[in-house]
Amino acid sequence: MSTYIPFESWEARQIADPQFSGIAQEMEPAYQLTRLRILHGLTQQQLAEMVGTKQLSIARLESGTVEPRISFLRKVAAALDSRVEIRIVPIPKGDDREVAHP
């Protein structure tokens, strides 16, 4: 018999783990979308139907393996009673992360 753990309790334990926290920061948009979907009590299939797409598209979005169009993100966010915000922030000197150039 499995025990139900509220999402908030699971999340609090995971965020305390430095390894999880680092990965969560790297995958922040995917993490937030997944979190919102779960908090709304939706499956990927249900969210896909609300957005007018396939479950696979939602799975790819949540896994962080694709770079979605902003228009698609807006549709998903609207279905989750949310909005998309985009920020451009300077990279501190000495930061070893790559800067993507067009």
pLDDT value of position 47: 98
The overall pTM is greater than 0.85:
no
Span 29-74, pLDDT tens digits: 888 899 999 999 999 999 999 999 999 999 999 988 888 899 999 9
Question: Does residue 32 sit in helix, strand or coil?
Answer: helix
Among 59, 55, 64, 58, CA closest to 28: 64
Tokens coding 27: 């995958």
Q: Is residue 69 part of a domain?
A: yes
Q: How many Å apart are CA 61 and CA 37, to the nearest integer?
A: 12
Q: Is residue 39 part of a domain?
A: yes
Q: What's the average model confidence in pLDDT over 76-100? A: 81
pLDDT value of position 18: 79
Span 68-84, pLDDT tens digits: 899 999 999 999 999 99
Is 75 in contact with 49 (CB distance < 8 Å)?
A: no
Q: Is residue 99 part of a domain?
A: no
Q: Is residue 67 part of a domain?
A: yes
Angle at 30 between CA 28 and CA 32, to 5 degrees: 65
